[in-house]
Structure 1
Amino acid sequence: MRVGRASRRAPAGPSSPEIRTRRLEGTTLDGPRDHDSDPGRALEGALDRARAGDETGFVQLWRALQPPLLRYLTVRGNDAPEDVAAETWLQVVRDLHSFNGGVADFRAWLFTVARHRAVDQGRARTARPVVPVADPLSHGRSAASHPSAEQDAAERAATAAALRLVASLPPEQAEMVMLRVVAGLDVAAVAELVGKTPGAVRVAVHRALKSLSRDPRIRATREVV
């Protein structure tokens, strides 16, 4: 028995709210995705190894979470997001032995520490000695893993454009969008972090994403990559 093409379910059109929202949640903000691996499972293993004192486990956590952490701090408007991120990771390394929980809990803890550090920086910046730290990304990296110059430039341009769009939102909304979409925290964790109810977080993020999805510039950021 033949089934006519008309009976097939039509794909969502370009104006679908779900499609519009996914445009924001794509590679422009989240960074390149590895479709050949399970990032959640990999990070669980990395977290277990890091807690056991394995350097490679910590390096894997750093590689996965440093980019969204920097994007979050950049949208917050901190003067030196790299410095705040470095202080955040130093505290994480120091206190990791006392941490209990899975990857979702680790994400929430990491961004909570970062937010507290960012607030402290905003209140008063004091001179601190510069401590040279080896770049974790240089550990075990092969030349074949480097993206092309064109690809790297395109990804950087798309990410910068998307961050500018999010930063154009009211500060509270921008922070909640970054914590939900980029950091990957659940609603309860975001609510606790920003001092809002879960319902207020859901409404604020929904309105922010809906507003951004209507902006014609969001399509431009997708076309760059």
Structure 2
Amino acid sequence: MAAQLTDDELSAALAGEPSGFSAVYSTMSPAVLGYFRARGVDDPEALTQDVFVDVLPKLTGIKGGHAGLRTFLFSIAHARLVDYRRRSARTPQLTEYDPLQDRRFSNSAEDDVLGSLGGISSTLSMLNDEQREVLILRIVADLSVEQVAGIMNKTPGAVKQLQRRGLIALRELVKDKDHTPS
């Protein structure tokens, strides 16, 4: 059973004596702390301290004896709880970033470019193999005519001719695609 505040301790507290406040705190703070814990406050000790900081300067004006003190104490505790709830409702919940729990997804720049190349890839597939290979090595790989000739085992003149014919064919394919209704 919890300790009870004696009449002498209550009188001392109501008279403003420090020993009386100390007695009020030691006998009543466990009940206030329990109230806050039961109400789910995340830091009940801090809120209990706030209640007694509010009670201290007002102790001398309390009427009604033990019941009056208890009523006054828990009315302040309730007001602190309401303030706490309002403050919690306005305060955003902060959580640490966990990349494993993050379900958001955004394409990388590379994914976007490769996705936009889908139409180009299908257009390139309409060229013959040599034209397509020359254009990819020249444009995408940024190789010189001589380097492409060495890779494809062709003369530089043949590579230039394949490139010219491939670009003409691409121009025609793109032009046809632009004039075709979707």
Q: TM-score, normalised by structure 2?
A: 0.45
Q: TM-score, normalization: structure 1?
A: 0.37
Bigger Rg, structure 1 or 2: 2
